[in-house]
Copies of this chain bind each other. A is one copy, B any other.
Amino acid sequence: MRNSPIAVFDSGLGGLTVVRELLSELPGEDIIYLGDSARVPWGIRSPETIRRYAMESAGYLMGFAPKMLVVACNTASAAALEELEAWSPVQVVDVIRPSALAAVGCTDKAVGVIGTEATIASGAYQRAIQALDPQREVISAACPLLVPIVEEGRSEQDPIVLHVLGDYLPRLQRRRPGALILGCTHYPLLAGTIGKLMGPDVVLIDSGKSAARQVRRQLQQGELLNPRPEGGRLICYTTDNPQRFSRLSMRFGGRQIDQVTFVGTDQLQLPAGEKIVRS
């Protein structure tokens, strides 16, 4: 098992910000990544659709016999974690619980959370934080335009980026949280500007970094760390255009990824016996 890969899935390219942290934290591990770019973004969809897409992605990745499953997508972590854990034959690490742990650990003040419409509407961060500290105040804000803004390729200094952040963040700023969770894989690309707008007293929590540390902890506990100190391989699959995936990989993953394989969404199937119930 120690030589088996870590399977990671996301709604698209954003999860590469999590992969980047995994590679930095665990350079010896092999990683299989699936980005469902043909159906991105998941953050605007209903919980049952997100659950179906997440289970299909996870089901596909189990074909690679991984030692661990990482849900790199905040939206999927919020909507589908219970189903994934009930079904998965291997440990599941999401991006929400590790971020909640990091936030509760670094401040006694309120915790702010920004994320997609679906992530914030789910209340998953609030539940994860209050599971650790029931009295903790949680201040959430959905920021639907940030994903398309990052996908459009705008820089952090772009006036429209500043304007949109200036529209979303003041409600959070006024409540003076001690930490702000960047609850979407795309947001680390805007961390510099978000940090400046929130001010030096607010610790930014990168959900990818928190998840990577959690992966290390669980692999260590299970004696599943790959003995190789470095040289892990990254193998990527996408449900849409592999060329576009390669082109944008530097932006999200911090490296040029040339080996990307197309897999049709019709090849992703719900694991046998699973039925997504409409809530």
Residues 238-266 of A, flagged 1 when their CB comes within 8 A of B and 0 if not, give: 01110010000000000000000010000
Residues 145-177 of A, flagged 1 when their CB comes within 8 A of B and 0 if not, give: 101110110000001100110010000000000
- How many Å from the CB of A66 to the closest CB on chain B? 25
Residues of A within 8 A of B (CB): 37-40, 44-46, 48-49, 144-145, 147-149, 151-152, 159-160, 163-164, 167, 239-241, 244, 262, 278
- A151 to B167, alpha carbons, bound, how many Å? 17
Residues of B within 8 A of A152 (CB): 144-145
Across the interface, name the chain B residue whose C-beta is closest to A152.
B144
Taking a contact as CB atoms under 8 Å apart, the answer to whether A241 and B46 are in contact is yes
> What are 25 pairs between A and B in contact, CB < 8 Å?
A37-B45, A38-B39, A38-B45, A39-B39, A40-B44, A45-B240, A45-B241, A46-B241, A48-B241, A49-B239, A49-B241, A144-B148, A144-B152, A145-B145, A145-B148, A145-B149, A145-B152, A145-B160, A147-B148, A159-B167, A160-B160, A160-B163, A160-B164, A160-B167, A262-B278
Taking a contact as CB atoms under 8 Å apart, the answer to whether B49 and A240 are in contact is yes
- How many Å from the CB of A126 to the closest CB on chain B? 22
Taking a contact as CB atoms under 8 Å apart, the answer to whether A240 and B163 are in contact is no
Most chain B beta-carbon contacts within 10 A, residue among A38, A48, A149, A167 = A38
- A144 to B145, alpha carbons, bound, how many Å? 11
Within 8 Å by CB of A163, from B37, B148, B159, lies: B159
- A132 to B63, alpha carbons, bound, how many Å? 52
Given A144-B151, A159-B163: A49 and B40 interface contact (C-beta under 8 Å): no
Residues of B within 8 A of A37 (CB): 45
Within 8 Å by CB of A46, from B45, B151, B244, lies: B244
- A144 to B153, alpha carbons, bound, how many Å? 10
- A38 to B276, alpha carbons, bound, how many Å? 14
- How many Å from the CB of A42 to the closest CB on chain B? 10
Taking a contact as CB atoms under 8 Å apart, the answer to whether B44 and A38 are in contact is no
- How many Å from the CB of A256 to the closest CB on chain B? 20
- A278 to B242, alpha carbons, bound, how many Å? 11
Residues of B within 8 A of A46 (CB): 240-241, 244
- A152 to B240, alpha carbons, bound, how many Å? 25
- How many Å from the CB of A146 to the closest CB on chain B? 10
Residues of B within 8 A of A241 (CB): 45-46, 48-49
Within 8 Å by CB of A38, from B49, B239, B244, lies: B49
Residues of B within 8 A of A163 (CB): 159-160, 163
- A145 to B154, alpha carbons, bound, how many Å? 11
Residues of B within 8 A of A240 (CB): 45-46, 49
